[in-house]
Amino acid sequence: MTQLTDLKAIVVDAAGVELTAEEHDLFKAEKPAGFILFKRNCVSKRQVKELVASVRACVGRDDLPVLIDQEGGTVARLKAPEWTEYPAAKTFGALAENSPDAAFKAARENALHMARDLAEMGITVDCAPVVDVPAPDCHEFLAASRTYSDDPEIVGLLGEAVCRGLLAGGVTPVIKHIPGHGRARVDSHLALPVTDVSHSELSTADFKPFAHLARSDMKTALWAMAAHVVYSALDPDSAATVSRRITDNVVRGEIGFQGVLLADDVSMKALGGTLESRIAATMAAGMDLTMLCNAPFEDRVRALAAAPRVTAAAAARIATAEKQRAAQAAATLGQRSGTG
């Protein structure tokens, strides 16, 4: 089996429902550390399972992380009628206003069923939950339905519920967008958001859900996706994905996140410079993995050539998270079959 430290520290995608010959050869030669699915890659359960297996065979790891954005609501790559449609985060936030306990239980059960759908096809990482705390002027791409509440305590509670449900179903959660995207007034897919509030304000609101999860018993089982957002009080010159200061002092330091740290998609317009310089900047900032999505094949070739190999520290975090995911999956399977 290919060693984790022999993989390129990048998550990439594919053009269609099966690998092209060129994609097959590229993945076999360059060995990306992860693969992410989009709607265009998913038409049936059997087809997705076969696509996932083919990517893992190329890379030479049967536990290669396979990711998807399946939040529920508008952000769902798996669509009906082939797959179950799940409610948006906002639904559980509304329930929590009257009954936090009922909302926690509902969010956990919802995530558990979602995870079972994913695990059945070999998908092991879900880019959810969104634990950003939306400010009143947060851009609608996030605030419309993808966030739980503007109360950090409720966000942390429901984020925990979703993480527990996903893990119980054998899927690793990716909490996002660390250290908080909720004050962004522009869509980071299109431009670079700048947040000008004080460090103290960020600590008492935006960071709280992430810190809550970083202190939980799931802390090394989680991944986190970093935000393409500038926080003037933390580093006025760089977005979080390319700021070593934010990674070390805030994400790993103040928040205390110990899991796998994944940069958001480097093809997004929030970042400037060449593709190669973006990848280098995310790695220099201390990201464990970077990510390229929805780019032409030629850009995937460039990105995989530019990406360094997974570091020993990142490999240890990836392996720890995978071990805990697999253990949770086995325990849940045992309970369902009556053997646990």
For residue 264, indicate whether it is catalytic: yes
8 Å CB contact between 128 and 76? no
Cis peptide before 139 (omega within 30 of 0): no
Q: β-strands 260-263, 223-226: how paired?
A: parallel
Burial of 274: CB neighbours in 10 Å, binned 0-12, 13-18, 19+: exposed
Determine the Cα–Cα distance for residues 169 and 172; give it in Å rounded to an integer. Answer: 9
Q: Catalytic pick from 264, 265, 288, 299?
A: 264
Could you please report the per-residue DSSP string of 258-304? -SEEEEPPTTSTTS-S-HHHHHHHHHHTT-SBEE--S--HHHHHHHH
- Other Cβ atoms less than 10 A from the Cβ of 85: the count is 11
- Other Cβ atoms less than 10 A from the Cβ of 256: the count is 15
Q: Catalytic pick from 189, 199, 206, 212?
A: 189
Q: Which of the residues are catalytic? A: 189, 264
